[in-house]
Amino acid sequence: MKKKIIAAVSALSMAGTVYASVGNAVHAEPVQSELTAETTASQDRIYCIASVSKMYSTLAVMQLVDEGKVELDDPVTKYLPDFKMDDERYKDITVRMLMDHTSGIPLGISINHYLYEDVDSFTHDNAFDILSGLRLKADPGEYACYNNMGFSLMEHIVENVSGMSFTDYVRDNIASKIGADHTGTAWSLYAGDLGDERVSLYRGFLPIEYPYEMAAGSGGIYATASDVANFGSAFFTGNDILLSDDAKTQMSTRWNDDAKYESYGLGWDFVEQIKYEKENIKVMGKGGDLPYMNSCLLVAPDEQISTAVLTAGNGSSQYAGLMASALMDVVLAERGKAVSDLTLPEPKIMDGIPDHYKKYEGLYYISDIYSTGICRITFDDTAMYKEELGTDNALPERFKITEDGGFVKVNDSGRMTADREIVYFEEKDGKIYIRTDKFTVYPGLGNTADSMYTGEKMEENPISPSVQQNWDELSQTVFVIYNEKWTSQQYESPFYQVVTDKEFPGYIMVKNSAGARVEKLADEDHALFFTSIPSSANRDLFNIEITRQTYADKTSAVSFDLSDGTRCRSVDSLPVFTADITEISLHSSEAVWYRIGKDMGGKSIVAERPDNSAIFVYNKFRELLYSTHIKDAMNTIDLPADGYIAFTGETGGSVKLFK
């Protein structure tokens, strides 16, 4: 009998009771956690499974491999003749490289990919156009670095080779074959083909409209937890319902034998995990994160166990993964294969820093995958210091040297903490990189151990005084997105800020609510990505172009454009919202923005708007206060002093305002 774990979690504050089915018995297994659920949902609710969707596009292509219609080591251009980049190396990208994140493509996902109560093919239809102007960040196959765009290209491969839409392919060749009646893409869920048992979502405590992920191949599969767990059983050894054993073996083989690197397989985030490897148990895993929904799928193919955890709320795939692992451990323990949490030997701290470490002093680009920054590394006789630049953080972090030449982070008392961070310097191809080993404890949930390259020493970038001055004049300038569709979730955090600093001349930091990115100045109007960190710390890179733009409100100002298609304008250029404005004409590709002046601050307006439109209000700290994507949002809108208001919608419509 095949055993499966099926789990679903929904909560306002992350964790909750996990419902598990083992064989014919049903258990309610609470995950012990300080993060308690305020609500729970049955396993029949439909979630976006975020990047776990990559396993569906990978499996789809591997089915075509099984049929002899696709070869993994053929160039992508064989199947996508319209795929081109501004870099001749793109011709060397193979199908396999899309799956194991080694393509060298810098871009993640383009604009208009996450929409409230709306489906739109913009992200799908414009992928080739956006990629055509980009250069690669590395030679294809050089190193693995997490990349969403590769799986969007796989979505196109499935369509070109099969002659079917990706939505239809998933329905006919995956979901229907395993009885997954509630599995499909945003298009099938939006059409009602999967039922209407969508999980409820909240911003804070306010219910929001349901968001749809348009990048189906990389993050846009919708399913119930039971469907996802059943999908995971397709990777069991001997199960040939969806794939051959040879295809599954290729998928579960890590891309590189060097254990220092991330253990990506084809589609899988990891095909080896220390916790299970030490017990000779093979476990593969894939996690996924989107605003409001997170997921994790774990599969032990030889043990015939599949665990799926889907969450709604303020969670993460990290927490979902810990829950899925806890469920996996329950079943393994029942079989007499107990698996314990990781324990690591405590590194031995040494006295004194050898002089040769002085060569590692300088500025470093540092990344934690989702956000990057600049830090200064210095040494004295007793410690290494890591000082974050371009922020308000005043005190540098302190590290002590260890017996093996690493530097372990210590607290103010000079002692290591339960959460351990050890930094190593490595030289390769004339560059200096930082590799970080992290051991993190999650009370009541377990712990994790990660190792990856996280930093690169920055070279001096001598530029002319006029170039530096041009960017210095933009320093601290705040920009707002204006070209996303009216249903885009990006309007919840649309602000960007450019930062220059005398501490890092020749470079800028670009900040938004998600974190920061570092760019190298090329000239007065261009800043480019520049890093070569051989890991997923080097993901989602973009270039910046500064132009002059005339907007729908007839004003002209600086436009701040990203290579993913994002267009922004400075808030200083926004017209002031005044009492005599009674109607706003809408434009499909351009939000109408205003600054809220002191004369309107503290007052209220009533808005009468068409269905295909939205309104957003932000305070002076650029925090979202009001959105019509909140269910049953009131028509009466309070205006904060020194805040901002944006009107978005379809061309031809207008918003009427009453004071």
Query: Which of 247-251, 364-368, 382-386, 393-397 is the least confident region?
Result: 393-397
User: pLDDT over 90 for what percent of the chain?
Assistant: 75
Q: Is the pLDDT of residue 7 over 50?
A: no
> What backbone torsions phi and psi does residue 339 show, to the nearest 5 degrees?
-120, 130
In this predicted structure, what is the pLDDT of residue 549? 77
- Of 186, 172, 17, the C-alpha closest to 116 is 186
Q: Which CATH number fits domain 17-334: 3.20.20.330, 1.10.275.10, 3.40.50.300, 3.40.710.10?
A: 3.40.710.10
Contact of 458 with 362, CB cutoff 8 Å:
yes
By DSSP bridging, strand 592-596 and strand 576-577 are parallel
Q: Which CATH number fits domain 355-457: 3.30.70, 2.40.50, 1.10.3470, 2.40.128?
A: 2.40.128
How far apart CA 592 and CA 648 sit, in angstroms, is 6
How far apart CA 483 and CA 495 sit, in angstroms, is 13
How far apart CA 562 and CA 11 sit, in angstroms, is 35
- Of 362, 365, 404, the C-alpha closest to 384 is 362
Task: Provide the residue count of the chain.
Answer: 659
- Of 140, 127, 120, 138, the C-alpha closest to 82 is 127
- Residue ranges per structural domain of the chain: 17-334, 355-457, 461-572, 574-659
In this predicted structure, what is the pLDDT of residue 394? 67
User: pLDDT over 70 for what percent of the chain?
Assistant: 92
**CA angle centred on 299, ends 295 and 303, rounded to 5°:** 150
- Of 595, 480, 455, the C-alpha closest to 533 is 455
Query: Which of 164-168, 213-217, 524-528, 545-549 is the least confident region?
Result: 545-549
Q: How confident is the model at residue 349 (pLDDT cuts 50, 70, 90)?
A: very high
By DSSP bridging, strand 114-116 and strand 184-185 are unpaired
Report pLDDT digits (tens) over 570-615.
Answer: 999 899 999 999 999 999 989 999 999 888 999 999 999 999 999 9
Q: What is the mean pLDDT of residues 633-650?
A: 95
Domains 17-334 and 355-457 share a fold: no
H-helix or E-strand spanning residue 382: none
In this predicted structure, what is the pLDDT of residue 254? 92
pTM as predicted? 0.92
Burial 423-455 (b: 16+ CB within 10 A, else e): bbbeeeeeebbbbbbbbeeeeebbbbeebbbbb
How far apart CA 36 and CA 17 sit, in angstroms, is 8
In this predicted structure, what is the pLDDT of residue 19? 33
Residue 124: other Cβ atoms inside 10 A: 20
How far apart CA 39 and CA 472 sit, in angstroms, is 49
Contact of 424 with 434, CB cutoff 8 Å:
yes
- Of 224, 177, 252, 171, the C-alpha closest to 21 is 224
In this predicted structure, what is the pLDDT of residue 261? 66
Report pLDDT digits (tens) over 122-135.
Answer: 999 999 999 999 99
Angle between helices 54-66 and 149-162 (to 10 degrees): 40
Provide the 8-state DSSP code for 94: B
Q: How many helices (H) and strands (E) does the chain have?
A: 13, 37
Give the DSSP per-residue string, 241-281.
SSS-HHHHHHHTS-S-S-TTS----SS-SBS--HHHHTTT-
Q: Which CATH number fits domain 574-659: 1.10.287, 1.20.1070, 2.60.120, 2.30.30?
A: 2.60.120
Q: How confident is the model at residue 513 (pLDDT cuts 50, 70, 90)?
A: confident
